[in-house]
Every structure is written in structure tokens, then in C-alpha cells.
Amino acid sequence: MDLELNKTVYVVWNQIFAPKEVTITKIGRKYAHTNDPRIVIDIERMTCGSAPTVGMIFESKEVYESKTQKDDLWSEVRKQVLNTHTRPQQLSTQQLEALLKIVVLRYGIWV
């Protein structure tokens, strides 16, 4: 993501602070400052704050929600696969092959 002056970004912490939209007010070589003086963005890492309260920077609330929705769905898929010890009888060979193509990385490693 490219940071620009007056661009609004969405900052999300790991459930410690409420997510927040901030506007970029100044861009330096290493940090970008925002309209909230407590939020300074590390340009290289696209984070703000320090452990244990590191915030992640997203282009918008919609981008963040899309990512978390995908992450939540993937977690549910993994949970369902790991909790299933036998093949569901209703799945055909073609459906299993299609599922395998979806969940296997190019190196054949499950994620």
C-alpha cells in the first residue's frame, strides 16, 4: 500500500483498542504521522505502536473486513477438515479433486 498525504487508512489492533480511521498528515523516510498524534506508522512494516499493542494498517475498513472474513472462513474450513476422520459420503471423486486443488499450495503443502 502506498501512503500519501491526506490519505485515510484504517488501523486495527489485536482487540486491545477499537479500530480507527486516521488521516496521513506527514510522511518521512521511516514514519508517517497521522491526525492522531498517538498513531505513527512505520512505513516499512505498515504497523504502528510497539509490542504488545502493535496495530496493523489497512487501506480501508472494507479491506480489513474482507481479510478477516476470509481468515475466519478459512479457519472454519480447517477446523471442519481436521475434525472429520472419514470422507463425507456425499462427496464425489470430482468434488474431492476440486477441493484438493483449492486447498493445496503450489508446493503441495497444506496451509
Report pLDDT digits (tens) over 23-67.
999 999 999 999 999 899 999 999 998 777 789 999 999 999 998
Q: How far apart are CA 24 and CA 32, in angstroms?
A: 7
Determine the pLDDT at residue 24. 97
Confidence bin at 98 (pLDDT 50/70/90): confident
The reply to whether 108 falls in a domain is no
Q: Number of structural domains, the chain?
A: 2
Q: How far apart are CA 24 and CA 27, in angstroms?
A: 7
Determine the pLDDT at residue 37. 92
The reply to whether 110 falls in a domain is no
Q: Are residues 77 and 92 in the same domain?
A: yes
- Contacts of 49-56 with CB under 8 Å at 24 or more apart are 49/13, 52/16, 53/13, 53/14, 53/16, 53/17, 54/13, 54/14, 55/11, 55/12, 55/13, 55/17, 56/11, 56/12, 56/13
Q: Are residues 72 and 98 in the same domain?
A: yes
The reply to whether 95 falls in a domain is yes
The reply to whether 3 falls in a domain is no
Q: Are residues 44 and 71 in the same domain?
A: no
Q: Are residues 12 and 45 in the same domain?
A: yes
Which structural domain range is residue 23 located in? 8-59
109 or 20: whose pLDDT is higher?
20
N-term to C-term CA, the chain:
25
The reply to whether 75 falls in a domain is yes
